[in-house]
Structure 1
Amino acid sequence: MDASLQICKIKGIPIRLHFTMLIFIPVMFLFFMMNSPPIGFNNVDMTTKYLLSASATFLLFLSIVLHELSHSFFALKYGTKIHNITLFIFGGVAMMEDIPKEPRKEMQIALAGPAMSMLIGAFFLVIYVFLKHLGVFSPVRLLAASMSTLNFMLSFFNLIPAFPMDGGRLLRAAFACRMRFVDATKKAALVGKIIAVVMFVVGLMPDPAALMRGEPAPPMSPFLSLIAILIFIAATEEENATRIFSALEHVKVGDVMRRGDQAFVSADMTVEDVLEKMASERHTEYVVVNTYGEPVGSVFFRELKEIQEKREHKISDFIKPIEVVSSEDIALDALKHMLREHKDIFAVVDDEGKLVGAVTKKDLIASSELIAGKMK
């Protein structure tokens, strides 16, 4: 089930709302209601407070979209396909086909987001200064102060040199000027992990203000520690993904596919026969073929184990659709397609369209680990 909903398209790029934004929107509304200027509006009457908080929540949402669109437009300029922009509780992510490995291009794509946030912050700062110069204390002036402050904060936070922030990609691009892309990613990920550990410890340290007052001191910022955990996980995932992708970018599907009986089951086989074959060969997915040796679907252990009471039924009653790739296709492209379409197995054909094997997500990842080990 898809956890996000498309709300619009901008320049052909789908903008999707993740279900966690259902938490983010009311939380930010309350945040603006409860906090003091220059971020919040707790110093005005209730009606104005509601209006300003709703407006600020919408404008912050729009600012995040513009931040991600800036990344996307620069990526499109360099030929990278943008699948969508998804807005999460902690911000937005532009889902790109692939980030250019040229350091200059990655730097420009990474800088585009913080630069847009800076521009938005400067725009609202001009409005604030103009109204202040006129001596006007109005709701618009409070809103401008809040949006200016938050966009500058968004820009600076994203420049922290740790994945998944833009600063992590800038750091990788700087390293990549002097070493291989995969090694640059490894070093940038290490820096990000160190920063995450420091943030985690700082977040759990006793509040110094409470200590100075001689009161019981709660943790300084549990939310900062939570962000640190997410940064550490993101750095690890970026490193692993880059290692896998780099290992497969010059490998063909035919070099890593399964062949013969290890790849196929007949549509005439029973559920019991296939389960026994899976147990014997220790595979959990197969391409299903008809009597002519043509692929007609796929079958998975996770589904079959749920229908063991139908062990005598033919497997053709339970097959799933199957996609076909060429043995000459690049293995990395096949893996990206699997990840994008949430597939686990493809049938593989040769140049003449004859079925020659099957390739699974597990095969591709396992092969990448072996190749990466040889490359060290």
Structure 2
Amino acid sequence: MSFKIATVKGIPIHISVTFLLVFLLFAFIFAITGWPFGFRYVEPPIARYTLACLTTALFFVTLLIHELAHSLLASSYGAKIQSITLFFFGGISAIENPEDEKNLDPSKELNISLAGPLSNIIIGIVLLGINYFVYGSILGVADVTNWVAEGITVFTYNIPTMIFLLGTLNLLLGFFNILPIYPMDGGRVLRAWLAKRHSYEEATNTAVSIGKGFSIILAIISILAFQWWLAILALFLYISASEEGKMFKATTILEDIIVKDIMSTDVLTVDESLSLTDFITFVFQKKHPGYPVTKNGIVIGVVTVDDARFVNEAERYAFTVKDVMKEVVSVKPEDTALEAFNQMGQHAVGRVVVLDEEGKMVGLISRSDLMTAIYLKDSFKEKSKTDMNSF
């Protein structure tokens, strides 16, 4: 779950609910950590926690700059960015059409992948440079003993610590992101480099394998050093690499499948005038959660059980499916199954209607249809490999 907070250069910026949780965690850590990595000695407490929250907010602004660097450069290369979302472990830039990423020249993908980490490294160097030239030390103060002993309470005197923290975190973020762990930026740089020498599929699979290997190494080192948070992050990166690998495999398979080959043609529909009470009964009889809604034989929307649930049970008799239906999301019979998959993701729906050139419904394709097609195609592919290896 996420909500929009702004739009930058036409790109919607969203914040995930998980992001708010980690924001509070970071602010708390900064508040209880001693100088120079926190504000533990600042009094009164309200000043301490205000500084911690402000530093956390500014740090996440730099995370946003990181994602914007990726997105704006990708846009300049012709890719359309759907949105940027800040979540628990950072941020993600969503490309509206995933095929744009696959069609990018490897050199351009390398530039896009490096843009984020470089932005953080530059921010870190600039901030630490400001501390050095303005306050006489990278840490921000020349006399550490006096700074702590006097228990400075003036808000502005703690700005050097804030600058040092932000600079250090950005440098760490920049260098950490260039580790060759897919799907982090370093992993994408590795894939772009490999894609210059091998096929895109081979490059991705190799980058995923190397990323998983580095995640395991990072986890082992973290556990031996009793750095449990870093170990958890390594586990998260391993899972992310695995999921990215599965997603790439699925989209590659869907690229080779045509919608008309897997769509359901015997599609049940409901008339726009059907009451929600009768619709619920219909659903129990037919055992499907969603149906196209028609008016005089023309599809005008799609309705699901979840749509009907928003209406109080006692009032459903007074509402029709037209009152709660959603707009039609459609594909053409000649489109690839990947296009159907992308449409489902962009519109957050579980099924899309298949319309011919004249706008007439010729079929329906659901998420389960896509999953079944992926499973069958992959199974036969693996079986073919096994049969070939047996000779």
TM-score interval w.r.t. the shorter chain?
0.7 to 0.9
Tell me how far apart the structure 2 counterparts of residues 60 and 305 of structure 1 sit (CA, whole Å): 41
Tell me the C-alpha RMSD between the 2 structures. Answer: 3.2
Q: Shift of the alpha carbon at 1:43? A: 4.4
Mapped partners of 1:320, 1:150: distance in 2: 48
Secondary structure of 1:223's partner? helix
1: CA distance between counterparts of 2:248 and 2:167? Answer: 36
| In 2, Cα distance between equivalents of 1:95 and 1:332 | 16
Equivalent position SS for 1:79: coil
Tell me which moved more, 133-142 or 116-125: 133-142
Is 1:327 equivalent to 2:326 in the alignment?
no
Matched residue, 2:101:
100
- Map of 2:241 onto structure 1: 235
Match of 1:120 in 2: 123
SS at match of 2:113: helix
Aligned to 2:29: 31
The equivalent residue for 2:20 is 22
2:113 aligned partner? 110
Give the whole-Å Cα distance in 1 for the aligned partners of 2:378 and 2:135: 59
Q: Report the Cα distance in structure 2 between the residues aligned to 1:233 and 1:53, rounded to whole angstroms.
A: 31
Amino acid at match of 2:298: E
Are positions 1:221 and 2:227 aligned together? yes
CA contact 1:8–1:14 (8 Å) conserved in 2 = yes
Q: Which runs of 5+ in 1 are unaligned?
A: 208-219
What is the CA–CA distance in structure 1 between the aligned matches of 2:5 and 2:304, rounded to whole Å? 34
Number of equivalences: 351
Q: Conserved in 1, the CA contact under 8 Å of 2:113 and 2:188?
A: yes
1:156 is the counterpart of 2:175: yes
Residue 131 (structure 1) aligned to one of 119, 131, 134: 134
Asked if 1:294 is matched to 2:310, the reply is no
Q: What is aligned with 1:90?
A: 89
CA displacement at 1:274 relative to structure 2: 4.9
Cα displacement (A) at 1:224: 1.9
The one-letter amino acid of 1:31's match is I
C-alpha separation in 1, matches of 2:308 and 2:345: 23
CA contact (8 A) 2:208 2:241 kept: yes
Give the deviation of 1:94 after TM superposition: 1.5
User: Is the CA contact (8 Å cut-off) linking 1:39 and 1:147 kept in structure 2?
Assistant: no
- Distance change >3 Å, CA 300–CA 46, structure 1 → 2: same
Cα contact 1:13–1:85 (8 A) shared by 2: yes
**CA deviation vs aligned residue, 1:149-204 (integer Å, no higher than 9, x gap):** 11000011111211331112112222222222222222211222222233334444
Distance 1:30 1:273 in 2: 53
Q: Hey, what's the Cα distance between the residues in 1 that align with 2:309 and 2:141?
A: 70
Give, in whole Å, the separation in 1 of the partners of 2:200 and 2:381.
Answer: 13
Alignment-derived partner of residue 53 in structure 1: 52
The amino acid across from 1:108 in the alignment is N
What does the per-residue CA deviation read over 1:107-147, in whole Å, with 9 as the maximum and x for residues that have no partner?
11110000000110011011011034389555333222211
Partner of 2:201: 182
Residue equivalent to 2:389? none
Q: How far apart are the structure 2 equivalents of 1:316 and 1:338?
A: 25
Would the aligned equivalents of 1:253 and 1:331 in 2 still touch at CA under 8 Å? yes
1:329-344 to 2 correspondences below 5 Å? 329-344=335-350
Gaps of 5+ in 2: 143-156, 383-391
Q: TM-score when scaled to structure 2? A: 0.78
Q: What CA distance in whole angstroms lies between the structure 2 residues aligned with 1:198 and 1:16?
A: 33
Contact 2:95 2:101 in 1 (8 A): no
Q: The residue matched to 1:329 in structure 2 has which SS?
A: coil
Aligned to 2:192: 173
Structure 1 residues 316 and 70: CA distance shift in structure 2, 3 A: same
Distance 1:300 1:50, change over 3 A: closer
